[in-house]
Amino acid sequence: MDTVLILDFGGQTCQLIARRLREVGVFTEIVAFDTPCTPELLKGVKGLIFSGSPYSVYEPEAPKVDPAYLEVGIPILGICYGFQLLTQTLGGKVKGQALKEYGRVPLRVLQPDPLFEAVGQGFQSWMSHGDSIEVLAPGFELVCESDHHPAAARHRSFKFWGIQFHPEVSHCEYGTLILSNFALGICGAKAEWSMDRYLELEGDKVKAQIGSRPVLLLISGGVDSTVAAVMLLKVLSPEQVHLMYIDTGLMRQGESKEVESILRTLGARYVHLVDAEERFLGALKGLEEPEAKRKAIGDTFIRVQEQEVALLNLSDYYLAQGTLYTDLIESGKGVGKKAKVIKSHHNVSSPLVEAKRRAGLIVEPLGMLYKDEVRLLGERLGLPESVIWRHPFPGPGLGIRILGEVTKDKCEILRQADGLYIVELKKRGLYRQIWQAFSVLLPVRSVGVTGDARDYGYVLALRAVTSKDGMTADVFDFPFKDLLEISSLITNQVKAVGRVTYDISSKPPSTIEWE
Ligand code: XMP
């Protein structure tokens, strides 16, 4: 498939470049900046993009690139640091600590250029740079400028372009158009990327990799593992696919049953449902401290997983995972290694996963997809909306939404209250506007009055946030009337809850979960 290869120099928005191009149908791959330029890597590659970076070209550890990329005759677009690196490498001059430009910066397009096709003579760009181009490299000519600095240049003979602004950021006017002018126009890449194509290619790959061996997938109830399961069922014979769902007793209302019934409807023959509630609640007994609870849940998960997988008696089997492209590039492939902020990972890797990885027996059928693409694939594969748009749910489940000690009774109370909350959000058309909503049971009781009697019930906190990726979050601007009605519904129907509050803290400084 025609591909645009992005070399990642650690820029914060590197992944957005890949997303924008996929949006216009061009397949993209991101590799670390120091990946050697080999014929194997360049198979199908029609264009190269050098990303931005937090470094200055003058810093001693500034990332450099294999010079062979400049010799292979493939069009190159340098973005921000990528432009500065191209300039420096080809004999121009970068000015360190120049006048900085951040945010929206108006630009003038000075002459017709295929990169700016249909952009017009001026537009609002988005900048984030300290260094800038002082002298263009020999053979380059200026195409676009800001009031202060060169903003874009092209080589007169080679297909090399450099831009100082960030077209991948949504605030950059014509950003997607400029990227697509590069990929489709200048590189001549075909827009071949679609979910159907992905299914076809990845399906063939999975089939070839697994052959007739068994494959085991642990289902969490979330969208990624469910889509991965359906994809395996689509391309392999149902006898090969073993799905295991560990019910920790810390799941949301109706979750376990719904997941099982969907998988069965979609043709799963072996759904191994493990009721591990007692093992998890046993491990949590007496624990109040958040980190101790998380550790107990993580350790129990690993133990239960090992015990239950051993009982299946599968030999020589593959382990499938619903890992996404973002997870892979952040961990395995070395991409992002020059990024200055490293995303924290919550997912526990178990000894089983590690052993299978070492043996080369891991299959990751969603490994080239972003989250929203997984949702699209889920729709294509016939999964219901309730699974595809389900809000994220943390591995430790309700265990970190019941503050203090976790007991079966408290799980029931929280499940019931949270179930009502979520159903109401859906009924009122609010669920899809919210990135994540849930309830938290506090280890506090307060006085109330029902009928003529005194009541002493739990306090429940409702949380609803908007976010892009969970790294930062804003409080959802909840319509007050809906909030009042939901609160009253919960206190009326869940006897043990005497008071409802709404959490109005953003992240940072708070986190999304309470523990
Ligand atoms: P925080 O609370 O850190 O949460 O702001 C950010 C996002 O991550 C989810 N989360 C977890 N997911 N295992 C997970 O798989 C965990 O231990 C975990 N802790 C938090 C949280 O629900 C939110 O979406």
Q: What is the DSSP string of 296-311?
A: HHHHHHHHHHHHHHHH
Ligand 1 pocket residue status of 396, Cβ below 6 Å:
yes
Query: How close is the Cα of 387 to the center of ligand 1, in Å?
Result: 18
The pTM (predicted TM-score) of the whole model is: 0.79
Pocket test for ligand 1, best of 343, 463, 466, 512 (most atoms within 8 A of CB): 512
Instruction: List the residue whose alpha carbon is closest to atom 22 of ligand 1.
Output: 394
User: Which structure tokens are listed for 53?
Assistant: 């970076």
End-to-end CA distance of the chain: 45
> Across residues 201-213, what is the average pLDDT?
94
Pocket test for ligand 1, best of 295, 346, 349, 506 (most atoms within 8 A of CB): 346
Per-residue confidence band for 331, with pLDDT thresholds at 50, 70 and 90: low
DSSP code at position 184: I
Query: How close is the Cα of 442 to the center of ligand 1, in Å?
Result: 18
Instruction: List the residue whose alpha carbon is closest to atom 20 of ligand 1.
Output: 394
Query: How close is the Cα of 149 to the center of ligand 1, in Å?
Result: 42
Per-residue confidence band for 330, with pLDDT thresholds at 50, 70 and 90: low
Taking 60 as the threshold, does the pLDDT of residue 343 lie above it? Answer: no
Cβ neighbourhood burial of 434 (10 Å; 0-12, 13-18, 19+): middle
Helices (H), 92-189: 175-180
Taking 90 as the threshold, does the pLDDT of residue 136 lie above it? Answer: yes
CATH topology of domain 3-186: Rossmann fold (3.40.50)
DSSP code at position 335: T
Query: How close is the Cα of 508 to the center of ligand 1, in Å?
Result: 14
Query: How close is the Cα of 367 to the center of ligand 1, in Å?
Result: 21
Query: How close is the Cα of 396 to the center of ligand 1, in Å?
Result: 9
**For 195-387, which CATH class?**
alpha beta
Cis peptide before 509 (omega within 30 of 0): yes
Q: Is it true that 3-186 and 195-387 share their CATH fold? A: yes
Q: Which atom of ligand 1 is nearest to the CA of 514?
A: 2
Cβ pair 251, 397 in contact under 8 A: yes
DSSP strand pairing (101-109 vs 93-95)? unpaired
Q: What is the pLDDT of residue 123?
A: 97
Per-residue confidence band for 364, with pLDDT thresholds at 50, 70 and 90: very high
Ligand 1 pocket residue status of 392, Cβ below 6 Å:
yes
DSSP code at position 394: -
Instruction: List the residue whose alpha carbon is closest to atom 10 of ligand 1.
Output: 394
Query: How close is the Cα of 346 to the center of ligand 1, in Å?
Result: 6
Instruction: List the residue whose alpha carbon is closest to atom 4 of ligand 1.
Output: 512
Cα separation, 318 vs 241, whole angstroms: 10
Task: Give 513 or 346, the one with higher predicted confidence.
Answer: 513
Q: Which atom of ligand 1 is nearest to the CA of 435?
A: 24
Task: Give 348 or 270, the one with higher predicted confidence.
Answer: 270
Q: What is the pLDDT of residue 282?
A: 98
Taking 70 as the threshold, does the pLDDT of residue 347 lie above it? Answer: no
Task: State the chain's mean pLDDT as an integer.
Answer: 92
Ligand 1 pocket residue status of 220, Cβ below 6 Å:
no
Q: pLDDT by residue (tens digit) across 228-245?
A: 999 999 999 999 999 999
Pocket test for ligand 1, best of 302, 513, 514, 515 (most atoms within 8 A of CB): 513
Instruction: List the residue whose alpha carbon is closest to atom 11 of ligand 1.
Output: 394
Taking 90 as the threshold, does the pLDDT of residue 318 lie above it? Answer: yes
> Across residues 7-11, what is the average pLDDT?
92
| Residue that the structure tokens 């890449």 belong to | 189
Q: Which atom of ligand 1 is nearest to the CA of 348?
A: 13
DSSP strand pairing (76-79 vs 160-163)? parallel
Dihedral sign of CA atoms 294, 295, 296, 297 in order: positive
Q: What is the pLDDT of residue 295?
A: 93
**For 407-502, which CATH class?**
alpha beta
Ligand 1 pocket residue status of 470, Cβ below 6 Å:
yes
Q: Residue ranges of the domains in the chain?
A: 3-186, 195-387, 407-502
Query: How close is the Cα of 395 to the center of ligand 1, in Å?
Result: 8
User: Which residues are annotated as catalytic?
Assistant: 80, 166, 168
| Residue that the structure tokens 């120091």 belong to | 34
Q: pLDDT by residue (tens digit) across 436-465?
A: 999 999 999 999 887 777 889 999 999 999
CA nearest to 130, candidates 162, 94, 163, 105: 94
Query: How close is the Cα of 417 to the center of ligand 1, in Å?
Result: 21
Cβ pair 438, 401 in contact under 8 A: yes
Q: Alpha carbon 246 to chain centroid distance? A: 23
DSSP 207-240: HHHHTTS-EEEEE-SSHHHHHHHHHHHHHS-TTT
Ligand 1 pocket residue status of 512, Cβ below 6 Å:
yes
Ligand 1 pocket residue status of 511, Cβ below 6 Å:
yes
Contacts of 121 (CB under 8 A, 6+ apart): 108, 109
Ligand 1 pocket residue status of 349, Cβ below 6 Å:
no
Ligand 1 pocket residue status of 261, Cβ below 6 Å:
no
